[in-house]
């Protein structure tokens, strides 16, 4: 080892040792956040003149005009609304599409795993700065999301908490398989290690394989998709027996299952088999949505994703463009029926198909397609926390929960687009973003 390399190694080691100590010191501090308004994630109205007290990474008190504890550091956010940290239930942090499908294909083939991992870390930080303190990453090659999740948890990278799926499961030749290339152009055939299986017992094994290497949640493609070449967007791709087996295995091992499903037939069979959420749902029928309501199955509509596949703005192969147009036509009707049925909805963006860091635009689209601002905010906070299975830890501004908090200027119930202008982010009690507040009141005092 050269002297320079040795010095850099020792410096990195010293920083690694010092960082936890510094964080530990910060955790002892009492911080009082003040804002003109508070949305707690669950209530039907905003709290005015809100105070949230934080210590040890957790919320210790919350209310209107609370007395600030003696010695606390006060952060006055002014004419702003304080809310739970946002959650995105459908991301792909290891990818980022451009507007040119063919160019992306070439670029992805030339990109190595180290570069892919560094890009993912950049996208994770961008997501956190947009106010999303928790995401569910529903598919990543080479276990990049598992490594990123752990690096963030150890403080080696900055980003949201990640609930990771590793490889998405799928049928041979289906949406989650590598299709559109000549036989063995890139070597051996895909298999269990890549999430591709056939038959009930092989899908059980595929679930076990992902969990063995760190998956927190299982993602499965039960119908065709838009951005894959050789499948119909709405056709079912797994048998009912295959779905029942993989869902049973995941639940037996304590994992939830998310189903990529555009088509109604495949979605209905997935719901009947016990799936926890339907992702996209472009062509869902009233009957399937009624079944989802009765079963408590969530819909993650990923409204932003349709903007990322619009042939009017994207360069797509003709077969993909045709599928995209069909999915775009279906989303409004499906969303209308879902709201009429009273299906549980959680916010998800399909970030990676759309640009990372723009996730909050999903709130705007949820309102555009019929949700109230309050319902949209719940979808991105407490409802998402319920779907992700972490409602006891975060998702609302409640005493004892993790201090995951964001602030936006003004009132999101009057203008939902303020969610796209986050200026303060706290994750687990640590302030990770703090821009100048929008009002003239003093920002910080002791």
Tell me what pLDDT residue 38 has.
Answer: 98
Q: Which of 346, 347, 341, 345 is nearest to 293 (CA)?
A: 341
**Torsion on CA atoms 256, 259, 265, 269, rounded to nearest 10:** -20
Structure tokens at 28: 């002892």
Note whether 327 and 226 are within 8 A (CB): yes
Structure tokens at 353: 């198909």
Q: What are the angstrom distances between the C-alpha of 255 and each of 8, 31, 226, 258?
A: 41, 35, 27, 10
Which listed CATH number (1.10.1070.20, 1.10.150.80, 3.40.50.720, 2.30.40.10) goes with 19-84+397-445? 2.30.40.10
Per residue in 231-286, pLDDT tens? 889 899 999 999 999 999 999 999 999 999 999 999 999 999 999 999 999 999 99
Per residue in 35-74, pLDDT tens? 999 999 999 999 999 999 999 999 999 999 999 999 999 9
CA distance 91 to 258: 12
How does residue 438 score in pLDDT terms, banded at 50, 70 and 90?
Answer: low
Helix ranges restricted to H, 191-317: 200-212, 240-252, 264-273, 286-295, 303-307
Tell me what pLDDT residue 47 has.
Answer: 97
CA distance 432 to 325: 40
Average predicted confidence (pLDDT) for the chain: 90
Name residue, tokens 């999301």: 145
Q: Which of 89, 86, 87 is nearest to 279 (CA)?
A: 89
Note whether 87 and 132 are within 8 A (CB): yes
Per residue in 158-188, pLDDT tens? 999 999 999 999 998 878 777 766 677 666 7
How does residue 75 score in pLDDT terms, banded at 50, 70 and 90?
Answer: very high
Q: Quote the longest CA-to-CA distance of the chain.
A: 70
- CATH top-level class for 86-388? alpha beta
C-alpha 62: how far from chain center: 26
Q: Which residue has the higher pLDDT, 33 or 437?
A: 33
Say if residue 214's pLDDT is above 50. yes
Tell me what pLDDT residue 180 has.
Answer: 66
Ramachandran angles phi, psi of 422, nearest 5° = -60, 135
Tell me what pLDDT residue 27 has.
Answer: 65
Give the N- to C-terminal CA distance of the chain in Å, as an integer.
Answer: 49
CA distance 133 to 127: 8
Tell me what pLDDT residue 439 has.
Answer: 52
- Stretch 24-37: mean pLDDT: 84
Per residue in 106-150, pLDDT tens? 888 889 999 999 999 999 999 999 999 999 999 999 999 999 999
Q: Which of 142, 145, 239, 235 is nearest to 195 (CA)?
A: 142
- Stretch 401-412: mean pLDDT: 98
How does residue 409 score in pLDDT terms, banded at 50, 70 and 90?
Answer: very high
Tell me what pLDDT residue 173 has.
Answer: 80
How big is the CA angle at 172 (ends 167 and 174), to the nearest 5 degrees? Answer: 75
Q: Which of 17-26, 184-193, 356-365 has the lowest mean pLDDT?
A: 17-26
- Stretch 366-382: mean pLDDT: 98
How does residue 28 score in pLDDT terms, banded at 50, 70 and 90?
Answer: confident
Q: What are the angstrom distances between the C-alpha of 110 and each of 105, 107, 187?
A: 9, 5, 16
Q: Are domains 19-84+397-445 and 86-388 of this chain identical in fold?
A: no
Structure tokens at 410: 């003004």
Report the share of the chain in percent with pLDDT over 70: 90
Tell me what pLDDT residue 283 has.
Answer: 97
Q: Which of 19-23, 394-398, 420-424 has the lowest mean pLDDT?
A: 19-23
Note whether 87 and 385 are within 8 A (CB): yes
**Domain range annotation of the chain:** 19-84+397-445, 86-388
């Amino acid at each position: 080892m050269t002297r320079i390399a040795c010095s850099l190694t020792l410096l990195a080691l010293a920083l690694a040792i010092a960082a936890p100590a510094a964080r530990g010191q910060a955790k002892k501090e009492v911080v009082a956040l003040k804002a003109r308004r508070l949305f707690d994630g669950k209530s039907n109205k905003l709290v005015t003149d809100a105070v949230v007290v934080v210590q040890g990474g957790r919320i210790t008190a919350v209310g209107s005009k609370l007395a600030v504890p003696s010695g606390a550091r006060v952060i006055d956010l002014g004419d702003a609304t304080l809310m739970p940290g946002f959650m995105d239930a459908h991301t792909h942090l290891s990818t980022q599409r451009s507007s040119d499908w063919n160019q992306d294909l070439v670029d992805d083939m030339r990109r190595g795993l180290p570069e892919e991992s560094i890009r993912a870390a950049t996208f994770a930080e961008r997501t956190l700065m947009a106010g999303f303190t928790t995401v569910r990453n529903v598919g990543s090659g080479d276990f990049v999301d598992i490594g990123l999740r752990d690096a963030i948890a150890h403080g080696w990278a900055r980003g949201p908490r990640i609930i990771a799926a590793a490889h998405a499961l799928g049928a041979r030749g289906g949406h989650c398989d590598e299709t559109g290339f000549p036989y063995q152009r890139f070597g051996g055939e895909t298999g269990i290690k890549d999430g591709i299986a056939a038959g009930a017992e092989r899908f059980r094994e595929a679930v076990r394989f992902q969990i063995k290497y760190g998956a927190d949640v299982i993602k499965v493609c039960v119908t065709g998709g838009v951005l894959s070449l050789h499948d119909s967007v709405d056709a079912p791709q797994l048998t009912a027996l295959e779905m029942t087996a993989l869902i049973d295995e995941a639940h037996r091992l304590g994992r939830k299952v998310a189903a990529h499903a555009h088509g109604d037939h495949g979605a209905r069979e997935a719901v009947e088999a016990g799936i926890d959420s339907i992702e996209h749902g472009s062509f869902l029928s009233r009957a399937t949505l009624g079944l989802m309501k009765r079963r408590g199955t969530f819909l993650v509509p990923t409204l932003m994703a349709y903007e990322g596949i619009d042939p009017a703005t994207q360069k797509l192969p003709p077969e993909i463009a045709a599928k995209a147009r069909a999915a775009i036509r279906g989303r409004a009707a499906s969303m209308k029926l879902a709201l009429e049925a009273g299906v549980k909805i959680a916010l998800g963006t399909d970030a990676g198909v759309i640009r990372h860091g723009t996730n909050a635009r999903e709130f705007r689209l949820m309102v555009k397609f019929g949700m109230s601002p309050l319902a949209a905010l719940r979808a991105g906070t407490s409802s998402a926390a319920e779907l992700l299975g972490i409602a006891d830890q975060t998702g609302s501004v409640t005493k004892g929960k993790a201090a995951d908090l964001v602030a936006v200027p003004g009132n999101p119930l009057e203008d939902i687009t303020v969610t796209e202008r986050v200026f303060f982010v706290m994750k687990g009690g640590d302030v990770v973003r703090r821009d100048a507040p929008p009002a003239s009141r003093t920002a910080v005092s002791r």
